[in-house]
Amino acid sequence: MKEHGMKTYRIAAIPGDGIGKEVVPAGQAVLQALAAAQGNFNFEFTSFDWGGDYYREHGVMMPEDGLDALRGMDAILFGSAGDPHIPDHITLWGLRLKICQGFDQYANVRPTRILPGIKSPLGRCKREDLNWVIVRENSEGEYSGVGGRVHQGHPIEVATDVCMMTRVGVERIMRFAFRLAQSRPRRLLTVVTKSNAQRHAMVMWDEIALQISSEFPDVAWDKVLVDACTDRMVNRPASLDTLVATNLHADVLSDLAAALAGSLGIAPTGNIDPERRYPSMFEPIHGSAFDIMGQGLANPVGTFWSGVMMLEHLGEVAAAQRLMRAIEAVTANPALRTRDLGGQAGTEEVTNAVCRLLAQDDAQQAIAG
């Protein structure tokens, strides 16, 4: 029974493939525990069995009208798309990119920090030196899907992938990135580019960055070539805060960022429609990890952290902070580390620990209050 006046968030859960089927239910359990502990909102989850198994049965990763089923939701919690027996471009374009592009989730946001207890491979990097958010253009650029192949199988075969950059697309991602940088304490934005080699689209990208910067006089910003950016991330991590980059550049940089922060297994992401015309989608970036799927070994922290991003998007800031505290308490505890972090704990153990901490946090706050 719904309590009077209590907000209910309708969330689509799409586990997808591989360990997505383990970490998404774990994420749901944690979000339900959080809602119970907070007491001022509810979650109503609807699960969708789309992905590789669905493809084997129906010949498509998700139904043709699948987006209609998601349209009315407040957000989407996604696991991963990828199947060892189906080509990657089919699983990816048939599900995840279909949702990202169908719902014009043009801002992909990837926060990276070194969580307590996690060791960065960078010997000289202190925890406070690495606190980044990478904003990835998520709707066009190198992933626009424009291109084709002719003369297939013949010696004269030709293939193209055209990087499409639109003025509207670049303006809106720049504006989003400047606004995000403005909301963070350092008010610092680094625009990643490659306009020395790519003379058209990247030059327009730079011009538009300059143009949009005039709307944000209180944000300090600079420009860096993508190759030089990798060096800066490794050798001067504290010189960066918010970054904005094209779809492909940010894809590469965000893996480097996650690795430098100690683990790809715990990194979260949000595919955001900033205008809120459509539901936004939150997911761990780790992928399907077939080698460990179905064994209860997957690290659910990336999904929990994605849940924090979802709560922030929904405006539940206090709940987001509470979940982040529980996540950090878990990463700080060696007994609660999964194998990818050198520990022995399983998915269920970590999930139960976070649920317990959320309830304790409640008790502590009640005592404090």
Report the distance separating Cα 190 and Cα 224, nearest Å. 7
**107 touches ligand IPM by CB under 6 A:** no
Residue 256 Cβ vs Mg ion, minimum distance, rounded to whole Å: 10
Number of chain residues interacting with ligand IPM (CB under 6 A): 3
Helix ranges restricted to H, 223-346: 226-235, 247-260, 301-314, 317-331
**273 touches Mg ion by CB under 5 A:** no
Using an 8 Å Cβ cutoff, are 266 and 305 in contact?
yes
One-letter amino acid at 48 equals F
Q: Which does 77 bind (CB under 5 to 8 A by kind): ligand IPM, Mg ion, none?
A: none
**In Å, how far from its chain's centre is CA 27?**
14
Q: Which is nearer to ligand IPM, 95 or 345 (CB)?
A: 95
Q: Which does 92 bind (CB under 5 to 8 A by kind): Mg ion, ligand IPM, none?
A: ligand IPM
Q: Which is nearer to ligand IPM, 92 or 353 (CB)?
A: 92
By C-alpha distance, which of 252, 149, 167 is closest to 205?
167
Residue 251 Cβ vs ligand IPM, minimum distance, rounded to whole Å: 4
* Burial class of 53 by CB neighbour count within 10 A (0 to 12, 13 to 18, 19+): middle
**In Å, how far from its chain's centre is CA 229?**
20
**140 touches Mg ion by CB under 5 A:** no
Residue 264 Cβ vs ligand IPM, minimum distance, rounded to whole Å: 10
Q: Which is nearer to ligand IPM, 90 or 353 (CB)?
A: 90
Residue 176 Cβ vs ligand IPM, minimum distance, rounded to whole Å: 18
Number of chain residues interacting with Mg ion (CB under 5 A): 1
Reported in sequence order, the residue ranges of the chain that DSSP labels E, i.e. its strands, are 7-16, 41-47, 75-80, 107-113, 131-137, 141-150, 158-164, 188-193, 220-225, 242-245, 268-272, 280-284
DSSP code string of 92-109 = IIIIIHHHHHHTT--EEE
Site map (CB under 6 A) of ligand IPM, residues 259-288, x = contact: --------------------------x---
According to CB under 6 A, which one of 17, 74, 251, 328 is a site residue for ligand IPM?
Answer: 251
Using an 8 Å Cβ cutoff, are 224 and 192 in contact?
yes
Question: Judged by CB under 5 A, which stretch of 6-14, 98-106, 249-257, 341-349 contacts Mg ion?
Answer: 249-257
Which residues in this chain contact Mg ion in the complex, by CB under 5 A?
251
Which residues in this chain contact ligand IPM in the complex, by CB under 6 A?
92, 251, 285
